[in-house]
């Protein structure tokens, strides 16, 4: 018997980085929360150095057939590989922003 997550319009997990006591991702390397004047809120800052990333809780995507992930990104650079998002159960799924295009 296979278990499936219930379909819902409500987020399974939501990070807003400015709620005291809210669940937050595990940060590695130089990842940190900074206040962004333009957004008027705290944001996750990843400086691109090796080993700097934020990690979702293990098993978050287990039993999900078609998860939706939504986020805003604000690159500090417009050249080179400046953003990668990846998740997987058995195969790697990656979104990369590279010099004005999304792959």
List pLDDT tens digits, range 72-91: 777 776 666 566 777 666 65
Higher pLDDT, 15 or 97: 15
Higher pLDDT, 48 or 4: 48
Interatomic CA distance for residues 60 and 89, integer angstroms: 10
Confidence at residue 65, expressed as pLDDT on a 0 to 100 scale: 76
Burial code of 38-57, b = ≥16 C-beta within 10 A, e = fewer?
Answer: eeeeebbbbeeeeeebbeee
Confidence at residue 28, expressed as pLDDT on a 0 to 100 scale: 92
Centre a 10 Å sphere on the Cβ of residue 85 and count the other Cβ atoms it contains.
13
Q: For residue 94, report the phi and psi dihedrals to the nearest 5 degrees.
A: -135, 140
Bridge partners of 32? 45
Confidence at residue 54, expressed as pLDDT on a 0 to 100 scale: 86
pLDDT for 31 beyond 80: yes
């Amino acid at each position: 018997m296979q278990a499936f997550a219930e379909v819902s319009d409500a987020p399974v997990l939501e990070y807003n980085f400015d709620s005291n006591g809210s669940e937050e991702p595990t940060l590695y390397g130089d990842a940190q929360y900074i206040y962004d004047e333009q957004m008027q809120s705290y944001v996750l800052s990843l400086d691109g150095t090796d080993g700097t990333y934020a990690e979702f809780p293990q098993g978050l995507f287990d039993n999900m057939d078609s998860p939706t992930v939504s986020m805003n990104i604000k690159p500090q650079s417009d050249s080179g590989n400046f953003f990668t998002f990846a998740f997987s159960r058995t195969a790697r799924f990656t979104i990369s922003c590279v010099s004005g295009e999304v792959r």
